[in-house]
Amino acid sequence: MKNTTKLIAASALIACAGAAFSQTMTAPEPRNVVQLSASGTVEVQQDLLVLNLATSKEAADAATVQTQLKQALDAALAEAKRNAQPGQMDVRTGPFGLYPRYGKDGKINGWQGRAELVLEGRDFSRITTTAGKIQTLTINNVAFGLSREARAKVETEAQTEAIEQFKARAAELTKGFGFTQYSLREVAVNSNEMNPGPRPRMMAAEAKMGSFSDAAVPVEAGKAQVIVNVSGSVQMR
């Protein structure tokens, strides 16, 4: 029994020592590993219009400014909602704020405020015609982009192109270094959208809408590039 007990104790000690040794051992450095990256780009027509309308008011007291802004925004909302349609023209309010105005003596001598309304969607004609009918707000900014559906479609194309480029590059490097095959170690995929450079504002915020009342505001979308990048490492054998 004593011999058996000693044998068991010795075995346990060896097992513990082996476990500790394995934990302190560092994994061998990977050899014949190369880092590389590739990208796929697809150009597509922008199909999303974001039109921002705004107004600014000022008066001696905050209550008057708030009332004026509310009246202007309510009237604009009523006009916009008549033509709203999900996905084609969505309507939402933007920032609404009041700010004190200070005199040279550092004291408040009045108040000013600003309210914004945003029209967004894929129906450019509906959006621009509605904007032309709104009399209480003026166009502040126009931006174009890609709808979720359009982006998802071309992103898949760009991703396929990037992966094929990555594989071709990996095979080329493997052959160039004198190896016959490779295996993928790690990979990362990310995407982004590149839009044309800043477009000048179509109209200053102070411009009067009355000159083209009930007429569609002229806009012209450009093209966007959806880019998918694939990066990672391969081990050559």
Strands 223-236 and 48-59: unpaired
Q: Band the pLDDT of 28: cuts 50, 70, 90.
A: low
**Residues 87, 177: contact at Cβ < 8 Å?**
no
Which pTM does this prediction carry?
Answer: 0.69
Strand order through the sheet with 182-194 = 33-45, 223-236, 182-194
Q: Has residue 92 got a pLDDT over 90? A: yes
Angle made by CA atoms 87, 55, 115, in degrees to the nearest 5: 65
Return the C-alpha torsion angle 211, 212, 214, 220, nearest 10.
Answer: -160
Least confident of 21-35, 135-149, 219-233: 21-35
Cα(32)–Cα(22) distance, integer angstroms: 25
Tell me the domain boundaries of the chain: 43-152+190-232
Q: Band the pLDDT of 31: cuts 50, 70, 90.
A: confident
Mean pLDDT of 75-81: 97
What is the pLDDT at residue 137? Answer: 96
Distances (CA, A) of 139 to 13, 56, 67, 127, 150: 81, 12, 21, 12, 26
Q: Has residue 226 got a pLDDT over 60? A: yes
